[in-house]
Amino acid sequence: MGNTLKKIGVMTSGGDSPGMNAAIRAVVRTAIYNDIEVYGIKRGYQGMIEGDIYQMKTTDVANIIQRGGTILKTARSKEFHSDAGMQKAYEQLMQHGIEALVLIGGDGTFRGAVQFFEKYTIPAVGLPGTIDKDLAGTDFTIGFDTAVNTAVEAIDKIRDTAEAHDRLFVIEVMGRDAGYIALHSGIACGAEDILIPEQVTHIDEVLDRIDQDERRKKNVHIIVVAEGDDFGGAKEVFARIQERFPMLDTRTCVLGHIQRGGSPSCADRILASRLGHAAVMALIENKTQLMLGVVNNEIAYTPFKDAVKEHSIINSDMLEMIRVLSA
């Protein structure tokens, strides 16, 4: 491909994450700087199928680096998983003369890419846009830092009221398959317990720790639980606590989609900008079928199949540290 690349498409897919707009901005401006036309594909794979595609100019991405969400919209597409849906998507790309793609999304986006590119030969690179940080091949994903800081701010405020009333709070954060938001926000907020999908939750041990805290007059107890924890979310944990400790003033709080929105942090803006720029340069250099990430502060390239094959590993030292610091 080299310098002959003339038209690329860019899209966001799956769950939105803060920093996606910064990545779109970097892709558009880097491409145009290199005399490449950029076409925005709205609503992810579904927009690709329906031909919801338009040419983007530098002015289209002005003043968006600080905005959450995604100007290209996002959606999940069941139709894309069918042969007929993929055929429609490919035909739309050909009709618009799109020669290569930049895909911004998470696990589902790249799984769809693997299926699509097994059938159709079109160069593509992916950027890890997900608050869950559940992809191999990158130290951080676009949106994770913002989501964690949103959770930290909320949990800090909840602790204030917990302190005032001597309450136990069970706080649920996002993380259906990965516990990184729970782990990082829980450590940062001094949570007494953190429950994540990567570890089996022994609820009796959690209850025993609450009992020990009560015996030594520790009246505030914060439990951060990822929504995908194997025992269940905040509701299930709350029920068991109330069953054993009916005398405790126990409350639950589900932070929910507040973690997806908001202005991206400085870290997410920089990460998204680096990766957006690197994505266009990778396509120019004939690098394809890869997810771009940052490992040890350097751009890293991981084949789509490897990026989604396994999640990055939770550091066992961090899990041990939780027990020590919450004592």
The pLDDT tens digits of the residues spanning 143-171 come to: 999 999 999 999 999 999 999 998 899 99
Query: Quick one: what percent of the chain has pLDDT higher than 70?
Result: 97
- Within a domain: 321: no
How far is it, in rounded angstroms, from Cα 76 to Cα 12? 10
Boundaries of domain holding 275: 2-143+264-309
Active site residues: 132
Residues 94 and 236 in one domain: no
pLDDT tens digit string along 201-258?
889 988 988 888 887 777 788 999 999 998 888 999 999 999 999 999 999 999 999 9
In this structure, the answer to whether residues 278 and 238 fall within a common structural domain is: no
Question: Is 316 a member of any domain?
Answer: no
Q: Do 10 and 58 reside in the same domain of the chain?
A: yes
For residues 178-183, average pLDDT: 92
* CATH value at residue 115: 3.40.50.450
Whether 323 is in a domain gets the answer: no
Residue 271: is its pLDDT beyond 70?
A: yes
For residue 325, being part of any structural domain is answered with: no
Domain match, 112 and 164 both: no
pLDDT, tens digit, 9 for 90 and up, residues 36-84: 999 999 999 999 999 999 999 999 999 999 999 999 999 888 889 899 9
Q: pLDDT (tens digit, 9 = 90+) per residue, 182-204?
A: 999 999 999 999 999 888 888 99
Do 260 and 16 form a contact (C-beta atoms < 8 A)? Answer: yes
Please report the pLDDT score of residue 319 as a whole number.
Answer: 74
Non-local CB neighbours of 110 within 8 Å, separated by 6+ positions: 103, 126, 135, 291, 304, 307, 308
| pTM of the predicted structure, to 2 decimals | 0.92
